[in-house]
Amino acid sequence: MNFAKSILVVLIGLILNAAALAEFGDSKESHGDKPNIIVILADDLGYGDVGCYGASSIPTPNIDRIAAEGIRFTSGYCSASTCTPTRYSLLTGKYAFRQKGTGVAPPNSPSIIPAGTPTIASVLQSAGYKTSVIGKWHLGLGGPNGPDWNGTLRPGPLDFGFNHCLLLPTTNDRVPQVFVENDRVLGLDPNDPLWVGDKSPSEDHPTGITHRNELKMNWSHGHNATIHNGVSRIGFYTGGQSARFRDEDLSDRWIESANQWISNHRQTPFFMLFCSHAIHVPRVVHERFAGATKHGPRGDAIVELDWCVGEIRRSLEANKLDRNTLILFCSDNGPVLDDGYEDSAIEALGNHDPNGPLRGGKYNVYEGGTRTPMIAWWPGKIQPRTSDQIMCTIDYARTAATLAGVQVPPGAFQDSQDLSQVLFDPNASGRSELVQQDNGQAGNFGYREGRWKLLLSNAQRASNVELRLVPTKIPKLQLFDLQSDLGENQNVIDEHRDIADGMLERLQKIIE
């Protein structure tokens, strides 16, 4: 009798264990050789802002860990030095200057991506991937007349290949401070409609100018319209009180959603674009990160960003997906200090250099504007190393398609290159050339070919060249030898006019 009971206990245990394995699964058995792909997009993060790229006074253990376990690119680029064009290029595999209206999107911007445009999400979706975008969108919503904040926000991410989204519609220094889930404002009370505009709705509407004494973070320039949560923004809005979020809770809310998405889709291949708002202004971190560094809110926001990276990695490990998931970590552009608020970004900088050895930053096409931290992490698949191969966020589209084993539609991903072999073969070559752009309004371009970098400044001015938002006169053409002058201090165009002329001709052909 005891023997029979023992056999029964063993059988029950085996059945339960098999059921658990069937539910939890091994990622490779669940969806073959198709890896999960997660892109973590930081905001305004500089090349020198994290430990693995030289920062010594801001702790970034989670970013440093995936760098140590993966590939740390020293020539990793975003395609533009501001957020909207980089995001457009990452999704479409196409330089943003090819599409009108891809400058920094205003609060009421209609969808910038034309209907029917293939994206990294739609191509992966066609290969059986479940797809999600969580975080800052800033690519416009709605038709030609802009978003219907109280109705259906289409076209939007659901029309560009995403099965799910939880979005900050613009950027948090612009109104409104609400989440968009799939195609509607989350938690909106129809009896308290949301209105968004570019002019004050009334003379007594509280703004950063009229009620400056009520602000918990003072503005320095431009960000002085509607006040929410003690911070004044760009643009005006009223209503939607039940839908508004607290700035301090952004990262927590997005990580909660990301972790739930990972858990819910562990049996199918998935693509997740996680767009952190850190370290963009206004830099209002959760209370548990306040004071984490000696560099004020900007430094604290880097620590909060690092926490996000750690939480996503831990979620993959908890769901046994880490060995079948590629994480690509990058930033949408380089650093900026005072970008509209008095948050001690300059005063508390100390010896920390957000650019490391680079020059420039957000808004310009010096290396600091577009060369950012870039890390590829895939345990068991990627050989840990440092790579000097050139890779750009615009290449994620074709690279992901190859990893998913799916054909790219004809005419799609025009400027994207398949660099999947760079991930696995230390001897594989990256890009041989790359176009960099600013916001697209000034017409300033950078063009890198190997060791050479050409700057074409049609506006003959640039701001934030030395991490200060001061317009700086620059020559129309500059040539730098990045091999010997990474800081772009010596314009050698007179000594190498033949090289500059050839590069200029090739750049203009690409632009035309």
Domain extents for the chain? 32-430
Angle at 350 between CA 345 and CA 353, to 5 degrees: 80
Give the span between the Cα atoms of 171 and 297, in whole angstroms: 17
Give the span between the Cα atoms of 371 and 446, in whole angstroms: 11
Q: Looking at residue 19, what is its pLDDT?
A: 40
Give the span between the Cα atoms of 1 and 76, in whole angstroms: 68
Helix and strand numbers (H, E) in the chain are 11, 20
Which pair of tokens denotes residue 197?
């505009």
Residues belonging to the chain? 512
- SS3 of 396, please? helix
Give the span between the Cα atoms of 414 and 410, in whole angstroms: 9
From first to last of its 512 residues, what are the pLDDT tens digits of the chain?
Answer: 444 444 443 344 434 333 433 333 343 434 568 999 999 999 999 999 999 999 999 999 999 999 999 999 999 999 999 999 999 999 999 999 999 999 999 999 999 999 899 999 999 999 999 999 999 999 999 999 999 999 999 999 999 999 999 999 999 999 999 999 999 999 999 999 999 999 999 999 999 999 999 999 999 999 999 999 999 999 999 999 999 999 999 999 999 999 999 999 999 999 999 999 999 999 999 999 999 999 999 999 999 999 999 999 999 999 999 999 999 999 999 999 999 999 999 999 999 999 999 999 999 999 999 999 999 999 999 999 999 999 999 999 999 999 999 999 999 999 999 999 999 999 999 999 999 999 876 689 999 999 999 999 999 999 999 999 999 999 999 999 999 999 999 999 999 999 999 999 999 999 99
Beta bridge partners of 178: 244
Give the rounded distance of the alpha carbon of 421 from its chain centre: 23
Report pTM.
0.94
Angle between helices 83-92 and 396-404 (to 10 degrees): 30
Give the span between the Cα atoms of 394 and 302, in whole angstroms: 24
Question: Identity (one letter) of the amino acid at 500?
Answer: A
Helix (H) or strand (E) holding 370: helix 367-370
- SS3 of 443, please? coil
Give the span between the Cα atoms of 355 and 45, in whole angstroms: 9
Q: Looking at residue 414, what is its pLDDT?
A: 97
- SS3 of 5, please? helix
Which pair of tokens denotes residue 414?
């025009």
Token look-up 């023992």 returns: 6
Question: Domain 32-430 belongs to what architecture?
Answer: 3-Layer(aba) Sandwich (3.40)
Provide CB contacts within 8 A for 201, sequence distance 6+: 195, 236, 238
Q: Looking at residue 2, what is its pLDDT?
A: 46
Give the span between the Cα atoms of 408 and 388, in whole angstroms: 27
Q: Looking at residue 32, what is its pLDDT?
A: 62
Provide CB contacts within 8 A for 13, sequence distance 6+: none
CA distances from 118 to 17, 128, 133, 410 (A): 42, 15, 16, 10
Q: What is the dihedral of CA 189, 176, 306, 301, to 10 degrees?
A: -120
Which pair of tokens denotes residue 508?
């203009």
Angle between helices 296-318 and 250-264 (to 10 degrees): 10
Give the span between the Cα atoms of 47 and 374, in whole angstroms: 9
Q: Looking at residue 5, what is its pLDDT?
A: 44
